Chains A and B, each alone.
Chain A
Amino acid sequence: MSAPNKSYDPVEVEALKPERIDAARDEALAAIAAADGLDALREVRTAHSGDRSPLALANREIGALPPQAKADAGRRVGQARGAVSKAFAARQEQLERERDERVLVEEAVDVTLPWDRVPAGARHPLTTLSERVEDIFVAMGYEVAEGPEVEADWFNFDALNIGPDHPARTTQDTFFVADDREGAAPDASGLVLRTHTSPVQIRSMLTRELPLYLICPGRVYRTDELDATHTPVFNQVELIAIDEGLTMSDLKGTLDHMVQSLFGPGTHTRLRPNHFPFTEPSAEMDMLCFRCRGASVGNPDRPCRTCSSEGWIELGGCGVINPRVLVACGIDPDRYSGFAAGFGLERMLMFRHNIVDMRDMIEGDVRFTRPFGMEI
């Protein structure tokens, strides 16, 4: 840098002559405009606004000027440098935008490409349907109870008022557990594969406090060969309520609420008399067909596959708990009453989802299960 020199004639500083500054500025602006890429612009920047650029060099000379000339020259150089800097920024931004547009176009992909790297998993619809039913009852205040599948026949039969000579207690219907202890008769074990989830109700009545509102889902067993409509292993959901003053009307209301929750508003149940040892009165429960709402009955033009144009779909059995069952569980039948209902999940799944062959639910074929996803 030149030192201040009073003897030096400022007019004599060539670099600070206005025409030189203007020329340097114009030259820079032209070069910026001509730069056709970011690399070229970087070079232009070094040449025209770097430390060795004409305007930078001119700026250094300002100090050599006498005070009266400094302001003038400073303003001139400053304006020139400002213009160059602004032009540079504008060009830089423009070139970057052009580059980005080009690169983003180059980076475009086919977003319709599939991504089935890990095929989706799924839960079995019998599991999720059971949970759906459980949730409906849990929302009402019920609790979910579970129990063993190999069960003492006292829990499975006797306590439920199913006497020793009831036809269900034969090898025609029930799987009996062999007694493998040495010297024991083969059928002396007193154990069966539970034929319903009702023993869970008995266990609950024996151990839980009253009032009692429970739902008992689970696997049960009967000696049917597997075919399109039968399976020896199936899933049942039973509900039981024991409280003071419970009536058959409460049962009806509870069932209505259940089918409405599962099949939508407007559906309801119908009770028909039937006979079960553990309930008295007993009833068969049907629900209004959720698809045709009964419109298919006597209407051959609009047949309904779901209810076979019957208008009603059989759900299962229910009734007022037989006071004898309460007595066997140590519950005072003069103070408490209750109701119970049970239905098969396979059947419900079949008509709810239009499943034609029972075996599809049994065989574990992933093609069947996948579409049901995580919840139903």
Chain B
Amino acid sequence: MRAPLSWLREYVDLPDGTTGRDVATRLIAAGLEVETVERLGDDLTGPLVVGRVLAVEELTGFKKPIRWCQVDVGAANGTGEPQNIVCGATNFRPGDHVVVILPGGVLPGGFAISARKTYGKVSEGMICSARELGLGDDHDGIIVLPPGHEPGTDAIALLELVDEVLDIAVTPDRGYCLSMRGLARETATAYGLPLRDPALLDVPAPNADGYPARVEDPEACDRLVLRGVTGVRPDAVSPLWLTRRLQKAGMRPISLAVDITNYVMLEIGQPLHAYDHARLSGPIGVRRATAGERLTTLDDVKRVLDAEDLVITDDSGPVALAGVMGGADTEIAETAEQPLVGQPQGTTGIVLEAAHFAPVPVARSARRHKLASEASRRFERGVDPEAAPAAAQRAVDLLVLLAGGTAHPGVTEVGGPGTPTRITVPADHPDAVAGVTYGRETVVRRLQEVGCTVTGSDVLTVTPPSWRPDLTDPNDLAEEVIRLEGYEALPSRLPRPPAGRGLTGRQRLHRRTGRALAGAGYVEAPNYPFTGPAQYDALGLAADDPRRRTVRLVNPLDDTESGLRTTLLPGLLEALRRNHGRGAQDLALFETGLVFLAEGDEPAAFRPAVTARPSDEEIAALNSALPRQPRRVAVVLAGGREQNGWWGPARPATWADAVEAARTVARAAGAELHVENATYAPWHPGRCAALSVDLDGERTLVGHAGELHPRVVKALGLPDRTCAMEADLDLLERAGAGVVEAPRIASFPVATQDVALVVDADVPSAEVEAALRDGAGELLESLRLFDVFTGEQLGTGRKSLAYALRFRAADRTLTADELTAAREAAVAAAAERTGASLRA
């Protein structure tokens, strides 16, 4: 809502010298969001005067029409002689009144005017357009003023060019602030000054002589006022003060009747609609539309109506979308091309409609038809239901005053004052909410300033004013008191919560995972969770791969990415590709985040009432509608895991680094990780590890790691040999061993035994290792694979695995016999389980 300071002053006697900034500061403190204070005419210097065009000579020989004009500017030029001015506009003729800036003046934007030679003539000033004066965007021609202004009159004052405008963002609960009346009330309260309420008008009582009306949906329209004005002069135009106020408030002047309805809406907050009496047939009705009914709205859009739309009708059908926009068929004829000059039109009889519509139907229609109007904005936020008669009266008065019309004696009013809300609230409730002692007197005074009627002593009965439908609960009243007393006056007090238990295990693991991976050289890159089939195609997922079963969005930002991720890889690989595209070579990225796994048969979530706590069964039912959303961790790698340098060559990132990243995470979780060869998209079929843990006695798959399939690398435009790992962090957390049992540290000497075992190439080293461990028994302290060898002397399809075994006893130095026995037992177990033989 744009509020000109000069307009506010009409309702509140602000102290002299009060600036827009001053008012803004007070209103902000009272809770209004004043976004800007615009200083109009700040950079405009006169002389800027009314001129009367005496003569016009068309100059020829130029690419565009140029006029050489003699303009009477009265005594403003010091001589009283006509001023010679060159002008490029053609929308005026001799006798018209125009706005002239004389040499020495400066137009907005620092455009200094001097007498200068142009088009072969000396131009002594300039005839101004609306845009040049900062009045609006209209640059079609120069301003032609309505008649009746003396040449030489100061146009800065006449056009009210110097002013300040407060632009206020109105929150949804403060519909009344979408009017000068509401803002003036806030300003008056903020300054402790009386308010002249523009809605306090004498309104004639309803009678049976008004335009007939029929309201079929009194819940959606609990008030309808119709008034008539006859004998409206079709050639009457909006006076300057009216058009200027509309412009400053951000509305475009259109025609006198429309300007008046807009003006009253801005002033009182009540949207009005003016119908051409001659174009209405039969009574005005209010009802729900029939599905498929049609209405062409004022914006010339043909709309097909929904059965929920509330419409205004006459005998011909819908003539307006109630509270949103009028229809073109009953429109008052307008003269849009000449905002400041009216051309004679045909409308002489006007029917004014001032209605109160419920917020919800208006909001729904506005949304359904994507048609947010000044009217719908107000109805959605709540219009004062008692303002309709006064607003209609105000519009009638203005039509009589400005258009020479006569008020029709008929007054139609359907519905009447509603039952006001009564709120019972302890007088110290605002104190309890704020943590401040205001006292009953202050509470009552503040509520009265808001417009409430207050009775009672310890317990107050409060009746909010009709323009505050948002005041329904005790806390609403508390807010009014606290904001008017000033939020800045609230003390700062720190509560003392009971002792907390710190982070949960899941939260601590999340942090440890991040630290462990970052410590290992990975950079965290969180990604959007939006995915689409193309990404899964690129990953080479089979048509029936469950990862393709995504939770989908109704309204995605990008129709090709309407699903939510079932794996972290697409987003993380895209981040890798982006970094690579920007020149990074050696990349190691990680991400932790939720994936969304729908089974596809989840029930729809319902909406329990909010008047009481839902039952545990209802909560469980709501939860069962949600897809599973486990937290995952993923890494991707490309280029060198170790860079080249003076220490030696680079070491490229391989499948083994990806598996190691899984081990790093598993270590952070305290979980024992099992690694097996696997075939799983999008990994290289020979370089993919399935990762699993023991969970509740069962081997449970938690993820995969390895090098990506070369086709995937190509399809996604990734660097060669890109590697990746993804694992379920929640499962790893559950598999965590909990409290670590401390080992006993023996100080007897260690004995080392190396064994080289030859096995078939496809025997997993993990199995050989497990067999060696089992066979070696308790004396084995540690075991490490230190070499893998293949070669001709082993025969094709064979490999040699060399292990270092370290033995130690807790209570003695091991004898050679014990050592040999343990070693042989280890080798025997490997031989039995994996076919291993000692390398010759």
Contact = CB atoms under 8 A, between A and B. Distances in A.
B147 to A, nearest CB: 46
A2 to B, nearest CB: 48
Contacts of A211: 497-498
B528 A327 contact: no
B381 to A, nearest CB: 10
A119 B55 CA distance: 82
A223 B555 contact: yes
A118 B502 CA distance: 34
Given A190-B606, A241-B497, A330 B483 contact: no
B591 to A, nearest CB: 8
B495 interface: yes
A280 B475 contact: yes
B205 interface: no
Contacts of A105: none
Given A189-B604, A250-B493, A271 B551 contact: no
Contact of B490 (A131, A159, A271, A322): A271
Interface string A136-155: 00101111101011111111
Interface in B414-451: 432-436
Which bucket holds chain A's interface residue count? Answer: 35 or more
A153 B604 CA distance: 11
A101 interface: no
Interface in A269-312: 270-275, 280-284
Interface stretch (B108-116, B358-366, B689-697, B820-828): B358-366
Interface in B589-605: 589-590, 593-594, 596, 598, 600-602, 604-605
Interface string B538-572: 00000000000001111111000010100000001
A155 B526 CA distance: 25
A92 interface: no
A202 B758 CA distance: 62
Nearest to B639: A119
A308 to B, nearest CB: 13
A314 B24 CA distance: 17
B612 A328 contact: yes
B497 A328 contact: no
Contacts of B30: 273
A370 B594 contact: no
Given A144-B504, A369-B524, A152 B622 contact: yes
Interface stretch (B457-465, B513-521, B773-781): B513-521
A167 B363 contact: yes
Contacts of B613: 206, 327-331
A150 B584 CA distance: 34
A364 B578 contact: yes
Nearest to A232: B557
A123 B521 contact: no
Interface stretch (A76-84, A253-261, A348-356): A253-261
B479 A141 contact: no
| Candidate in B593, B613, B641 with the most chain A CB atoms within 10 angstroms | B613
Contacts of A154: 605-608, 614, 622
A126 to B, nearest CB: 7
A362 to B, nearest CB: 8
Interface stretch (A11-19, A36-44, A67-75, A175-183): A175-183
B604 to A, nearest CB: 5
Contact of A121 (B433, B520, B527, B575): B520
A170 B174 CA distance: 21
B579 A117 contact: no
Contacts of A49: none
B643 A271 contact: no
Contacts of A249: 434-436, 490-493
B503 interface: yes
Interface string A213-235: 10000010001010000001100
A329 to B, nearest CB: 6
A50 interface: no
Contact of A283 (B487, B496, B518): B487
B500 A121 contact: no
Interface residues of B, number: 114
Contacts of A271: 487-488, 490
Contacts of A123: 514-515, 518, 524
B109 to A, nearest CB: 21
A246 interface: yes
B620 to A, nearest CB: 11
Contacts of A187: 554
Contact of A243 (B494, B495, B602): B495
B172 A148 contact: no
Given A138-B500, A144-B504, A364 B557 contact: no
Given A170-B367, A271-B490, A364-B575, A191 B606 contact: no
Given A213-B500, A252-B493, A122 B524 contact: yes
28 contacts: A116-B643, A117-B643, A123-B514, A141-B497, A151-B626, A152-B625, A152-B626, A178-B562, A187-B554, A191-B551, A191-B625, A206-B613, A232-B557, A233-B529, A248-B435, A249-B434, A252-B490, A253-B492, A253-B493, A253-B495, A324-B473, A327-B612, A327-B613, A330-B612, A331-B613, A364-B572, A366-B587, A369-B524
Report the 6 A-B pairs with minimum CB-CB distance, sorted nearest first: A273-B31, A330-B613, A247-B435, A364-B525, A190-B605, A249-B435
Given A152-B622, A165-B360, 14 more contacts: A118-B643, A121-B517, A122-B523, A143-B502, A144-B503, A149-B596, A150-B564, A167-B367, A252-B490, A252-B493, A272-B31, A282-B479, A323-B475, A366-B579
Interface of B: 28-33, 171-174, 359-360, 363-364, 367, 380, 432-436, 473-476, 478-479, 482-483, 487-488, 490-504, 506-507, 511, 514-515, 517-529, 551-557, 562, 564, 572, 575, 578-579, 582, 584, 586-590, 593-594, 596, 598, 600-602, 604-608, 610-614, 619, 622-623, 625-627, 629, 641-643, 645-647
Interface of A: 113-124, 126-127, 131, 134, 138, 140-144, 146, 148-155, 158-159, 161, 165, 167, 170-171, 175-181, 184, 186-191, 193, 206, 211, 213, 219, 223, 225, 232-233, 241, 243, 246-250, 252-254, 256-257, 268, 270-275, 280-284, 320, 322-324, 327-331, 337, 362-367, 369-370, 374
